[in-house]
Amino acid sequence: MELLEKKQKSRDDLKNNILQIAISLVENDGWNALSMRKIANQIDYSVPVIYEYFDSKEVLLDELRQKGFEILNKYLRKSIETEKAPQKMITNLAKSYWNFAMEFPSYYQLMFNYDFIQIDRKDGVAENNVTISIFKDAIHWLAPNSRYDEELSMELVDYLLALLHGMITLANNKSIFDKNFEFNKLKKATERFIRSVSSY
């Protein structure tokens, strides 16, 4: 039993190493330059070994995408774990979303820029359900009536996420980027959202 556990740990370690190498390559060369051969060269294994762990590049990208959501959701949960005020919860979630996008731009791009990556996904709709749930719970505290109206609840979540993604995209597309200035614009936009939603 102990031998089997060691073998499994060894496989898990190699799999995680492959994922780490993949994200490192992307940070240097971009997503479109990523290939199984480049990963194999980096870890000094043959390409068939990589395919033992990931059937295709798309499967590997999906694993990275899942990992990205895990990191994001950890950021989001941590930002509100001791917060009780609804307005502050939304502000903290917006800040954490921004911080994730700034600190992990490669993950963010993979998770949300479908046109760029062009992954053939069969279950993409369900992937960020946890993220949606975190935002929905906070919205329920801010706008109590949304607890009893699923359509309204999802509309408000969509509005907030659209705001966040829009501000992040605008900031990232600027040739001269002042992180503090751009974040302050996001903060003001979030405050306007909070004021408008508080009346629901």
Q: Which pLDDT belongs to residue 128?
A: 78
Residues 131, 185: one domain?
Answer: yes
Whether pLDDT at 120 is above 70: no
Residues 89, 151: one domain?
Answer: yes
Residue 70: what residue type?
A: E
| DSSP character string of 37-104 | HHHHHHHT--HHHHHHH-SSHHHHHHHHHHHHHHHHHHHHHHHHTT---HHHHHHHHHHHHHHHHHH-
CATH of residue 103's domain is 1.10.357.10
Q: Which pLDDT belongs to residue 141?
A: 92
Q: Which pLDDT belongs to residue 117?
A: 47
Whether pLDDT at 10 is above 80: no
Residues 85, 184: one domain?
Answer: yes
Residues 100, 184: one domain?
Answer: yes
How far is the C-alpha of 131 from the C-alpha of 74, rounded, in Å?
10
Whether pLDDT at 7 is above 80: no
With a pLDDT cut of 70, the percent of the chain lying above it is 88
Residues 140, 191: one domain?
Answer: yes
Is residue 49 a part of any domain in this protein? yes
Determine the distance from the C-alpha atom of residue 146 to the mean position of all C-alpha atoms in its chain, rounded to a whole number.
25
How far is the C-alpha of 199 from the C-alpha of 187, rounded, in Å?
19
Which of 169, 168, 166, 139 has its CA nearest to residue 152?
139
Question: Distance of CA 40 to CAs 33, 49, 50, 57, 119, Å?
Answer: 14, 8, 7, 12, 21
- When the pLDDT of each residue in the chain is averaged and rounded to a whole number, the result is 87
pLDDT digits (tens, 9 = 90+) for 23-81: 999 999 988 889 999 999 998 899 999 999 999 999 999 999 999 999 999 999 999 99
Residues 27, 100: one domain?
Answer: no
Determine the structural domain holding residue 73 and report its residue range.
Answer: 66-197
CATH of residue 47's domain is 1.10.10.60
Total count of domains within the chain: 2
Q: pTM value?
A: 0.87
